Amino acid sequence: MTRVLLASRNAKKLAELRRVVAAAGLEGLTVVGLDDVPQFPEEPETGATFEENALIKARSGARATGLPCVADDSGLAVDALNGMPGVLSARWSGRHGDDEANNSLLLGQLGDVPADRRGGAFVSACALVTPAGEETVVRGQWRGRIVDEPRGAAGFGYDPLFVPDDAEAGGRTSAELAPAEKDALSHRGKALAQLVPFLRALA
Ligand SMILES: O=P(O)(O)OP(=O)(O)OP(=O)(O)OC[C@H]1O[C@@H](n2cnc3c(O)ncnc32)[C@H](O)[C@@H]1O
Ligand SMILES: [Mg+2]
């Protein structure tokens, strides 16, 4: 069995990564998380793009463990904010991973922005780095709009504020979708789908 490390320190994101990889039915691959390998220090996510940050995380996981490593760097790019919070999504309010503070800051910033200009996209870059140094990076996007009040309790991050454009979502926020519904439409689902052939090749 080949082991593959999914390197995320965000438990809810990690659960999504695990789900999508499991749904792909990769025979001969065992997925492990950071809890299953010896601890190694977190590298600062200093990249200017999602791709650069995904590579920083995947390279450091592969280097520390000797395992092929998948990492996601993602965020919400709001049109009216010229693509921000972007790579700063996790720490937009100044406190890393404080979803409530991030959401209320974003809502305040969009306070005067009318409904027809509240478009944006979730973006995910997923990188696969092997111990031999082969690197693959892919990107998925999920278009939608930012509502003016949070709705729903599933998912994480900005999910309660994001209504996907997809008809299947029927006007629900991504925090109101069932997990499998989110995976079928999401930026992360689309990015990982492109990595599946490369993962299959490792098995
Ligand atoms: O870097 P790792 O350890 O993977 O965990 P993280 O939470 O810091 O992850 P990122 O640096 O990639 O930042 C992503 C942020 O973007 C937001 N985000 C990304 N994907 C999202 C999703 O599917 N739903 C809601 N918010 C999302 C959310 O605020 C995340 O904390
Ligand atoms: Mg991060």
Structure tokens at 52: 């650069």
Global confidence as pTM: 0.97
Model-level ipTM above the cut of 0.85: yes
- Reported as a single tens digit per residue, the pLDDT across 103-134 is 999 999 999 999 999 999 999 999 999 999 99
Q: What is the CATH number of the domain that holds 60?
A: 3.90.950.10
**How many angstroms separate the CA atoms of 203 and 200, rounded?**
5
* Ligand 1 atom nearest to CA at 9: 3
Question: What pLDDT shows up at residue 203?
Answer: 87
With a pLDDT cut of 90, the percent of the chain lying above it is 98
Confidence of residue 192 (pLDDT cuts 50, 70, 90): very high
Annotated binding residues for Mg(2+), as ranges? 73
Residue 179 structural domain? 2-201
183 tagged catalytic: no
2-6 and 69-78 strand pairing: parallel
pLDDT tens string 50-75: 999 999 999 999 999 999 999 999 99
The whole-number average pLDDT for the span 140-156 is 98
Q: Amino acid identity of 199?
A: L
**By percentage, how much of the chain surpasses pLDDT 70?**
100
Gap between the Cα atoms of 15 and 48, Å rounded? 26
The domain total for the chain is: 1
Region 81-90 average pLDDT? 98
Q: pLDDT at position 47, please?
A: 97
Mean pLDDT across 83-101: 97
Q: Report which ligand 1 atom has the smallest distance to the Cα of 159.
A: 25
Measured from the Cβ of residue 148, the count of other Cβ atoms closer than 10 Å reads 11
**What is the arithmetic mean of pLDDT over 5-21?**
96
pLDDT band at 188 (very low <50, low <70, confident <90, very high): very high
Beta-bridge partners for 93: none
The single residue of 73, 79, 165, 183 carrying the catalytic annotation is: 73
Residues 6+ apart with CB under 8 A from 100: none
**Would you call 170 exposed, middle or buried from its count of C-beta atoms within 10 A (0-12, 13-18, 19+)?**
exposed
